[in-house]
Amino acid sequence: MARRARLPAQTGTAGAPVTPAVPVERVSLDRYPGYRRSAPERAEPEAQADGPGGPPRRRRVSEADRRAWQEWQQGRIEDAFADGQRAQAEGRALDALSAFERAHRLSPDDPVLMFALGLARSLCDDHAGCLALMERLGGRVDMREAWVTAASAALALGLNQRAGRHVERLLSTHGFDPSLSDILGRVMEATGRVGWCALSGGGPGGDPGGGGAVLNVLCAGPVQMIADGVAIPPGPPRRRALWRSHVLPEGWERWEALEVRDGAGTPLLGSPIAASRIARPAGFVEAAGPRHIRGWAWHPADRDRTPQILVRVASDRGDGELVARLELDEAADPLPGNALARPRRIDFAVPRRLRGARLDFTDAAGQSLFGSPLDPLLLSESAPGRSRGRGRPPCRPPCRRHGRRHRRGDPRLPPLPAHAGLHRQRGCVAATVGRSRRAHRGGRGQLARCRPAGRARRAGR
């Protein structure tokens, strides 16, 4: 077998190795601002090497290192976003686009950065990039402004039917905003539709006379309203700037599909409208004490609308006493992970006569908020953890007969299973407590003597 020839070593005239033209530099993390090494202190590379001329050891990254890197990365994102906003305010569109692109590369899943970048692309006539980004953003968070920007970009590219689909998605699942009238008119003319329709439960697009929810329509003649297959007579029209508004009757929050047609039976742009989805709020309540309930609520499909929450005494039939009607005007703290939300604060003081009652926080359609109805034990003065003694009941209560605590191997109550229904759970607790009390009535010794007798009696059966 022939031997493979060896390549000659690269040496100079004097036999010394040739130095590469571009020196190789070892990258160090010390050059990045905000990065700090944790203990132990950094040693020299010769001390960290496994041997003479060997590679340096890899140091384990600690939690402090990760937190420092995250803070440094978040600072870079905020600086890039601030640069983009400053450039956009000064009219430097290309500089703003470059800054928003840099911020988006650092955090590609942030919806705020995605929306800012989409607007910057639209201002720089990059309509294709704006359309792709806004469609991805609208599919993730279902944002009203994202569908509007996507429809405008589609019109600029000549994709009229695509713009019509975006506007239909916007009108059928979101509340109406008067600033949308321009883009709605352009899409209606480009797609050849006879008119458009949009629902508003309140806010800027609501009833100008204060009547509540309205149906905004732009159509030449009369319209037909069909809610869940039942014809609904339109309310008295009220003329607005370019369209007219029809006041909706009570109970519109329960409509799953509202079809709007012209006099000839042709559906308008935006029909059918998911009224229940637009009216449904998202919220959370919790007991902050026996006299205080706090939480938040907002309308994801109609962010400008003021949420109205009903407080009732919970009942199985849903006809409990109406305690209060809350108009949430005060803004709450931002929700973690959702920078686009506009939550409103819930701060309710429980009346003395209702302490210990089951309170249910619902919307106008009767849908309960998350965490509601509240457990009566959380609203009572005798709840666990609110006693005047140590503030905490003993883990194993003493036996009534012997006056001493039970051993660790003989707890007072066995583990309880969790049931879906409240009545089943209460029955399980009552049956378990009753069995435990009957077992402990005769003492530990008598209970131990009764167990074999009970087994033998069951075996004889």
Between 197 and 16, residue with greater pLDDT: 197
Rounded CA separation 452/456 (Å): 6
For residue 350, the model assigns a pLDDT of 84
For residue 179, the model assigns a pLDDT of 87
User: pLDDT at residue 166 above 90?
Assistant: yes
Measured between its terminal Cα atoms, the distance across the chain in Å is 90
**CA angle 28–30–31, rounded 5-degree value:** 85
Confidence class for position 46, pLDDT limits 50, 70, 90: very low
Which part of the chain has CATH 1.25.40.10?
A: 63-158
Domain 280-379 -> CATH class: mainly beta
Question: Which residues have a Cβ under 8 Å from the Cβ of 365 and sit 6 or more positions away?
Answer: 253, 254, 276, 279, 280
Rounded CA separation 130/31 (Å): 36
Tens-digit pLDDT profile for residues 288-312? 876 788 999 998 888 888 888 998 8
Closest by CA to 156, choosing from 126, 116, 115, is: 126
Over residues 73-97, the mean pLDDT reads 92
Cα-based distances in Å from 116 to 97, 126, 335, 340: 9, 13, 20, 12
For residue 324, the model assigns a pLDDT of 86
For residue 94, the model assigns a pLDDT of 92
Confidence class for position 390, pLDDT limits 50, 70, 90: very low
Rounded CA separation 206/208 (Å): 6
For residue 153, the model assigns a pLDDT of 94
Closest by CA to 255, choosing from 219, 287, 215, 226, is: 226
For residue 24, the model assigns a pLDDT of 36
For residue 36, the model assigns a pLDDT of 38
Tokens 């005047």 label which residue?
388
Confidence class for position 451, pLDDT limits 50, 70, 90: very low
Rounded CA separation 206/171 (Å): 15
Please answer whether residues 116 and 148 qualify as being in contact, where contact means their C-beta atoms are separated by less than 8 angstroms.
no
Which part of the chain has CATH 2.60.40?
A: 280-379
What fold characterizes domain 63-158?
1.25.40
Confidence class for position 211, pLDDT limits 50, 70, 90: low
- Of the ranges 46-55, 58-67, 83-92, the best mean pLDDT one: 83-92
For residue 258, the model assigns a pLDDT of 92
Over residues 81-89, the mean pLDDT reads 92
Q: Which two tokens mark 5?
A: 């020839």
For residue 450, the model assigns a pLDDT of 39
How many CA atoms are closer than 13 Å to the CA of 317, on its beta-carbon side? 3
Rounded CA separation 47/57 (Å): 10
Between 189 and 407, residue with greater pLDDT: 189
Tens-digit pLDDT profile for residues 377-389? 666 654 444 444 4
